[in-house]
Structure 1
Amino acid sequence: MVEQSKTDAAVTEPLYVKGNVVTTIFHNATNLFSVLRLEVKDSNVEWEDREIVVTGYLPQLSPEERYHLEGTVSEHPKYGRQFQVTTFKKELPATKAGVASYLSSDMFKGVGKKTAEKIVDVLGNDAISRILQDATVLDQVPKLTAKLKKTLAQTLQENEGLELVMIKLNEMGFGPQLAMRIFQTYQQKNARSD
């Protein structure tokens, strides 16, 4: 079992794993406890395999996206070595092809490959962060309907919102399970008030 003392934590960076979800082994829709297998793209954890079993309180993660997960390594008596997530964030694509692929994924209804490429051509490789900062930049993209602009901006904000809330609650000392419960409660109250 790999442990990190409090003195080490102040000196070294937290343990992290970056990668894509290969498969979701278990996901509890009620409390969001998840067990998944992640293909490791980068990590500061010594791991022999190219895949790692990850556990934690997470929303349903998409195999199409890359995630940066921080946490600890533990040894489960029955299932072996695992990475327990304390915080996570989605890594936004940085290349033209990556951004276009992301925007044309199933998350964005009505956005095809050509539309996504047009958005990136007009707004650049940082199109996602530009839209998150100010959705009116989508007005620069010719032939985008008002409905599609709204869908794009809203979907990006919803996904970004969960990550920001989880990170902030974690910084405030809330564990991942409690942070997820707080987020779910807030989301349900918001849905009822719409």
Structure 2
Amino acid sequence: MRCRYDREIYSNPENGYCIFQYLTEEQVPEGAKNSFYKGNKTAFVAVGYHLPDGGVLEYELNGAWAKGRNGLQFAVEYYDDILPDTEDGIYQYLSSGAVKGIGPKTAEAIVNQFGTHTFEIFDTEPEKILSIKGITEKKLSVILTSYQEAHSRRELTMFLAPYQLGPGKIAKVQAAYGDRALEVVRSETYELCKVQGFS
């Protein structure tokens, strides 16, 4: 289900469970539509753990429709970010604070330089970002670390969601293993015993 975050209905900071409303242009079952929403998209409710709540990106929610107390809801198993592919969308994302070290002026300079190839540069030729005025090697390191951590943290969070681990424990796993965290959890689960709070 390709959609964009609209608003929070409920969230539990203890275990990360949340109920959010999203907007989509895709087909939604009649019993799942919010009839009070009057915009040009369809509003529906999704439930799950650590669901995305950023208004800048679109998301691909994966799961199934399930009957709840208030009608049909989309029970999310995992989700993927859909990075924008237009210059304006890329600017909005980079200037939103989603990537540490990039503010509105730097975001504008990056998009002016690389246009719609910006994320390709981030992924395959990040050294080219040093050509942007004000970006030193030290700053680039901060930017790339934030860019990569955001992606790996979302993957880890969704993988661990069924186990109802709180954000605190997930952050400890991320801190302990960095970019390898998801790989460790999937194939070397016993390693978690070395992380404080796991036994």
What's the TM-score, normalizing by structure 1? 0.72
Q: Give a deviation string over 1:129-185, Cα, whole Å, max 9, x none.
A: 431345323223233244542332122112211344467x4xxxxx7423x639864
Residues in 2 aligned to 1:182 and 1:53: alpha-carbon distance in whole angstroms? 22
Residues in 2 aligned to 1:138 and 1:190: alpha-carbon distance in whole angstroms? 26
Q: CA RMSD in A?
A: 2.9
Unaligned runs of 5+ in 2: 35-41, 179-199
Cα distance, 1:53–1:120 mapped onto 2, change above 3 Å: same
Moved more, 158-167 or 47-56: 158-167
| In the alignment, structure 1 residue 46 sits paired with structure 2 residue 29 | yes
- Confirm or deny: 8 A CA contact 1:31 1:177 kept in the other structure: no
Give the aligned partner of residue 37 of structure 1.
21
Moved more, 64-73 or 141-150: 141-150
Residues in 1 aligned to 2:148 and 2:125: alpha-carbon distance in whole angstroms? 11
Q: Tell me, what secondary structure is at the counterpart of 1:126? A: helix
Structure 2 counterpart of 1:52, one-letter code:
F
Structure 1 counterpart of 2:61, one-letter code:
L
Q: CA deviation at 1:109?
A: 4.8
Residues in 1 aligned to 2:148 and 2:176: alpha-carbon distance in whole angstroms? 19
Residues in 2 aligned to 1:57 and 1:189: alpha-carbon distance in whole angstroms? 17
Residues in 2 aligned to 1:193 and 1:159: alpha-carbon distance in whole angstroms? 14
Q: Give a deviation string over 1:16-62, Cα, whole Å, max 9, x none.
A: x2111111122222321111000113x35435451010101125521
Give the aligned partner of residue 88 of structure 1.
79
Give the aligned partner of residue 54 of structure 2.
62
| In the alignment, structure 1 residue 105 sits paired with structure 2 residue 96 | yes
Give the aligned partner of residue 8 of structure 1.
none
- Confirm or deny: 8 A CA contact 2:63 2:74 kept in the other structure: yes
Cα distance, 1:149–1:161 mapped onto 2, change above 3 Å: same
Structure 1 counterpart of 2:90, one-letter code:
V
- Confirm or deny: 8 A CA contact 1:99 1:120 kept in the other structure: yes
Give the aligned partner of residue 141 of structure 1.
132
Q: CA deviation at 1:84?
A: 0.6
Give the aligned partner of residue 162 of structure 2.
177
Which residue of 152, 164, 180 corresponds with 1:161?
152
Give the aligned partner of residue 4 of structure 2.
20
Give the aligned partner of residue 175 of structure 2.
191
Give the aligned partner of residue 131 of structure 1.
122
- Confirm or deny: 8 A CA contact 1:20 1:65 kept in the other structure: yes
What's the TM-score, normalizing by structure 2? 0.70
Cα distance, 1:35–1:157 mapped onto 2, change above 3 Å: same
Give the aligned partner of residue 74 of structure 1.
66
Residues in 2 aligned to 1:182 and 1:26: alpha-carbon distance in whole angstroms? 16
Cα distance, 1:104–1:147 mapped onto 2, change above 3 Å: farther
- Confirm or deny: 8 A CA contact 1:162 1:183 kept in the other structure: no
Percent identity between the aligned chains? 22
Q: CA deviation at 1:112?
A: 3.2
Q: Give a deviation string over 1:63-87, Cα, whole Å, max 9, x none.
A: 22211101101111x2211111011
- Confirm or deny: 8 A CA contact 2:157 2:170 kept in the other structure: no
